[in-house]
Chains A and B, each alone.
Chain A
Amino acid sequence: MIIDHPLLGPRDASEFIYLGDASLLNRPKWDEEKSEDNFYKYLYLRENVAGMHKELWFHQQGDRSWLVISRNTVTHEIFKVELATEFKKNMGKSND
């Protein structure tokens, strides 16, 4: 797979490390009533879709930036590559 890095251009996927579903950016609040259950779901449960998947990749052998990639898990086709910081801003959440 070739990942079109928003800053560096097309790079081979082997330069990157995969973390998983981009929902990991939505860390639950620790001080809510249901936080125990929320953290269980956050840590362990995944939608694991066959199809369009937003996921976190780390450019370990490059500029060490975190990316959010929209990729089809059935065809490996990549549709969108964003910096995770930009992605999170657009989610309307602060970086905490």
Chain B
Amino acid sequence: MYYNVLKILKEGLNDNKGWKKTWQNPEIKKKYDVIIIGGGGHGLATAFYLAKEFKIKNIAVLEKNWIGGGNVGRNTTIIRSNYLLNENEAFYEFSLKLWETLENQINYNAMVSQRGVLNVFHSDAQRDSFVRRGNSMIINGADAELFDVDKIKSIYPFLDYDNARFPIKGGLFQKRGGSVRHDAVAWGYAHAADELGVDIIQNCEVTGFKIKSGTCIGVETNKGDILANKIGCAVAGSSSVLMSKANMNLPLESHVLQAFVSESLKPFIPGVITFGAGHFYISQSDKGGLVFGGDIDGYNSYAQRGGMDMLEDVCEGGLALMPTIGKARLLRMWGGIMDMSMDGSPIIDKTHIKGLYLNAGWCYGGFKATPASGWCFAHLLAKGASHSLSENFQLDRFKNGYMIDEKGQGAQPNLH
């Protein structure tokens, strides 16, 4: 079903009775060319680009719960490409470019809003490091601007400029960054993939892999065995649990990251703002709620909920940056399970088992990567070789010493 203005007018006159399901509920086939495990943003994007760009037919996406119930619906919806290292920056800039044309590609309104991302800094040393990052962004074809305090004051008058401990000295601004409605990303990719004949199978949990003499030939699920030529795993925080069924230990720890939404307020925050002296980022949704978050709780967790000490830490950061939000009441909070890798960068690679591919290690930056992750993973699955933008995201880089450690923290996942 193709969505357009005429269709909306027609259905408006027709009591909205003609709409079909956004995606179907197909029967499971016995065998597929490619099975994607995980119906989150990355899995659905992979299936969509496999069908659209790489012309693979006969694809299934297996989701153990429902579409949009995992991390794709549990983030703070920010898109940006403001990384320092070339291996990351080129990839995330490609992702941002895909976001810019996403809605036409998938024929779905994902409310992509390039309202700008501002990272404020508070010291001379931090300014130098942000300038360096901005230059790295520009070298890789992204946009970056350095804002002085007057410029920031003119756009964001509500920040605390006179904070004695953390005075605002300026900011690194990316105009093309912004936010996207995260649920619509899941629904849109699912809709577009379904239109291209991808079978989206919900409530289908993979319980094991069928491995025959070093080759993965299918999966075991709660709905029976399904065979496939290639199997791609994109299950984020559950990656270690899933891959342990193939006797693999991954360079990952699963951690919980919380996000928070306030009651609806009149629009006053243009774009995304991040605090440079703590871990705090905030934007305002189209419904008016303040959407904000901070650091991971810092210990292994599969609970999808975190502790109050992190809520306190996040709110302290928020109040140091913009005391004006202190009177807003918190409406909702939730946790998502992050696949924290040992160097803070992702993995898009084949495994030592033939036919079994892995997409994981997104830490808490997976949402913005959704389109590029899907594209590069689809490239790997279709052609058997890495896309040039993801060729550094190898699984064995930890063994070979080619870490992509954006923060320089070493093999300590809760610091990335």
Contact = CB atoms under 8 A, between A and B. Distances in A.
Contacts of A45: 249-251, 398
A20 B309 contact: no
A75 B249 contact: no
Interface residues of A, number: 26
Nearest to B309: A14
A91 B317 CA distance: 42
B307 A48 contact: no
Interface in A37-66: 40-41, 43-50, 53, 55, 57
B301 A73 contact: yes
Contacts of A8: none
A73 B249 contact: no
Contacts of B299: 13, 18, 55, 57
B244 A47 contact: yes
A48 B300 contact: yes
A84 to B, nearest CB: 16
A12 interface: yes
A1 interface: yes
Majority secondary structure, A binding face:
mixed
A62 to B, nearest CB: 15
Interface in B200-241: 238, 240-241
Given A46-B240, A46-B249, A40 B398 contact: yes
B303 A76 contact: yes
Given A48-B250, A73-B303, A20 B413 contact: yes
A40 B342 CA distance: 12
Contacts of A12: 309
Contacts of A57: 299
Given A13-B309, A44-B398, A47-B244, A74 B413 contact: no
B376 interface: no
Given A18-B414, A73-B301, A48 B252 contact: yes
Nearest to B249: A45
B147 interface: no
Interface in B246-302: 249-254, 298-302
B131 interface: no
A1 B299 CA distance: 11
Contact of A73 (B251, B254, B414): B254
Given A1-B307, A43-B411, A76 B301 contact: yes
In the A-B complex, list the 5 residue pairs whose CB atoms are closest, starting with the nearest.
A48-B240, A14-B309, A44-B398, A45-B249, A18-B299
Given A1-B307, A14-B307, A19-B412, 20 more contacts: A12-B309, A13-B299, A14-B309, A21-B253, A40-B398, A43-B342, A44-B251, A44-B398, A45-B251, A46-B249, A46-B251, A48-B241, A48-B249, A48-B252, A48-B254, A50-B238, A73-B254, A73-B300, A73-B303, A76-B303
5 contacts: A14-B307, A19-B412, A43-B342, A46-B240, A47-B249
